[in-house]
A and B are shown apart, each in its own frame.
Chain A
Amino acid sequence: DAKTTQPNSMESNEEEPVHLPCNHSTISGTDYIHWYRQLPSQGPEYVIHGLTSNVNNRMASLAIAEDRKSSTLILHRATLRDAAVYYCILSLHTGNQFYFGTGTSLTVIP
């Protein structure tokens, strides 16, 4: 399985930026980096994905290291609704499987 490493948990204060790190040292040249989040009692929700360049959308930004061995999901202003488990995933060019690790549980403090 393609491996990603994330901290088990993180905390953030409400309305402050959050940087969620992910290491993926075994990434190959055409593997994509995806982020999903899972709120309690819901299915995972797509957040963002990218290949090499940094990506922005309405939910978050994805910063990808130049060597692509790590990435950071940035929530610009955390809200209480952002409390969730965040998964960093590699989707392999050699197949169509998305392997989820254990993710980072984000707690947002009011």
Chain B
Amino acid sequence: ETGVTQSPTHLIKTRGQQVTLRCSSQSGHNTVSWYQQALGQGPQFIFQYYREEENGRGNFPPRFSGLQFPNYSSELNVNALELDDSALYLCASSLVGTPKYEQYFGPGTRLTVT
């Protein structure tokens, strides 16, 4: 069983730029969630996708957007990057509709905005 993978591992961007982060869900999972984890803090929920539709959103501005593809891979896009966007971005997948509803997390992408 393949786990959740994310790419890239690290990247550095300049304020005002745009970034795309990628996630491949665990095999068979139909739901993906994205979280932002600032240094020394717990993860904050950004949004969740189920069957390619946004299925819940946390307190993040519209410049944070996402996509989920038919093969259950996903992207997180952030426009007009700000210094405070520097964080570890975590992707988590789960299988809605079964007892195995736990979210399985990837290793994360470390984004640094300068």
A and B assemble together: no
User: Residues of A at under 8 Å CB distance from B?
Assistant: none
